[in-house]
Amino acid sequence: MQTLGMGQAINQALREEMTRDERVFLAGEGIGVGIHDSPLMPTAGLLATFGPGRVKDTPVSEAAIAGLAVGAAAAGLRPVVEVMFNPFFTLASDMIVNHAAKLRYLSGGKTAFPLVVRLKSGAGFGAGCQHSHNLEAWVAHCPGLKVVMPSSPADAKGLLKAAIRDPNPVIFIEDMALYFAPAPVPEEEYVIPLGQAEIKRPGRDVTLVAWSKMVGVALQAAEQLAAEGIEAELVDPRCLGPLDTATIVESVRKTGRLVVVHEANRTGGFAGEIAAVVMEQAFSALKAPLRRVAGPDIPVPASPPLERFYIPDSARVVAAVRSIL
C-alpha cells in the first residue's frame, strides 16, 4: 500500500482516467498553473503530463466553466471541472442545477451529460465564510445530480474514478483538510461504485453517520467511547446521492440509536434527510432521540478561536452519544 493525502489520491485517479480515456479533460481556475506548487494538490503536475489541450486553466468565470462542462459532455467528452471553493458553487449553480441536472430529463432521455464537478470544501483554514460554506445539502436535493463526499484518500480515488465513468453529472466534494491527512491507498487499480456506504467501524450500541472530514472526527469519538465500553458503529455513506439508505437503516435497526455528524450548518443540513429516512424505515427499532452534531447556524468565522468553535469535534460527538444512552 502507498500512503497518500487525498489530493494525491485524486491526482492519481485523474491521471489514470485521463490515460484510460482521452475524452477526459480538466478545466478550472489555476488547475494547470497554480499558486501552490505543492505535490499534495489534486491537479499538481497534470499540465506537464497531459498538456494545455487537456488541462485547461480558465479565466475567473464559474458559470462558463460549468457551462463548458455541460456542453462538452453533451458532445461526448468527459469533463472534470473544478470550482475552487464551495461558496462559489452559487455562481455555477444555474449551469449545474438547471442544466446539467435537468437537460437529460428535458430531452426525454436522448442526451446525456457525463461530467464531474470537483468542489473544494470545508472550514479550518482561516479564510472565513465566503471561502468556507458547506453546501452539500443543496446538491443532494437536486434530482439528476449524484453527490460524492469522500472521507479518505482511498475512497476518494476509487469514487472519483467511478464518477468520471458515470454517465450522469456528479458533484464531487473534497474537504481540503483531507489533502494533508496521509493514509494508505491500494497500489492496484480499483473503482468504488457510487451509492454504497461503508461501515468504517462496527458497533452495537449507537450508529454514527458521518461523511467527509467528519468521519475522522466521529472515529476519534468512537474510540473514546470504546474506552468507556460503548461500541459505536460508524457508517460513512460516501455518496449523499444516491444515498445508501439500506446500510444506514440496517445499522440503526441493530443499535436503536442515531447520531448524525456534519460540518455544514445544523438547520436544513443533510442530517435531516437521514433522520427522516430512519424515522420512516426503522422507527420501531429506535430506542432514543436523534442527536445531530453539526456546525452552528452561523457563517464560518475567520478568527482561529471562532472558527474552532464552529467546527464539530469529537468531544461534541461523545457528548451527543452519552446524552442518548
Partner 1 sequence: MGIPTQKKHEMMRSMLLARQFEERLSGLYRQPGKIHGMLILATGQEAVGAGVCAALTEADVILGNHRSHHHLLARGADPNALMAEIFGKRTGCNKGKSGTLHLAVPEVNALCTTTVVGGGLPIAVGLGFAQHYDKRDAVTVCFFGDGACAEGSFHESLNLAALWRLPVIFVCENNRYAAAQSYAEHSPVPSLAVRADGYGMVGESVDGNDALAVFAATERARARALRGEGPSLIECLTYRWGGHGESDHQTYQPADEIAAWKRKCPVERLAQALIAAGEVSEDDLARMRDAVAARVEAAVRFAEDSPYPAPEEALDDVWAE
Ligand X SMILES: Cc1ncc(C[n+]2csc(CCOP(=O)(O)OP(=O)(O)O)c2C)c(N)n1
Active site (catalytic) residues: 62, 131
User: Cell numbers 475567473 correspond to what residue?
Assistant: 60
Distance CA 178, CA 170 (A): 20
Please give the backbone phi and psi of residue 292, each rounded to the nearest 5 degrees, phi first.
-115, 135
CA distances from 221 to 124, 134, 234, 247 (A): 19, 22, 10, 21
Please give the backbone phi and psi of residue 86, each rounded to the nearest 5 degrees, phi first.
-50, -40
Choice from 35, 37, 229, 283 touching its own copies (CB under 8 A): 283
Distance of CA 323 to the CA centre of its chain: 28
Choice from 87, 203, 216, 269 touching partner 1 (CB under 8 A): 87
Helix (H) / strand (E) element for 322: namely helix 314-322
Give residues 19-78 in contact with its own copies (rule: CB under 8 A). Answer: none
Residues forming contacts to ligand X in the complex (CB under 6 A) are 29, 60, 62, 84, 88, 91
**Minimal distance in Å, beta carbon 103 to partner 1?**
4
**Residue number with CB closer to its own copies (114 or 241):** 241
Both ends of the chain: CA-CA distance in Å?
39
Residue 35 binds which entry of its own copies, partner 1, ligand X, none, CB below 5-8 Å type-dependent: partner 1
Count of residues that bind partner 1 according to CB under 8 A: 74
The answer to whether residues 257 and 207 touch, using CB atoms and an 8 Å cutoff, is yes
Q: What mask of x and - would describe binding to its own copies in positions 198 to 237, judged by CB under 8 A?
A: ----------------------------------------
Contact residues for its own copies (CB under 8 A)?
A: 87-88, 90-91, 93-94, 97-98, 101-102, 105-106, 128-130, 133, 135, 137-138, 140-144, 240-241, 243, 264-265, 267-276, 279-281, 283-284, 286, 288-292, 297-299, 301
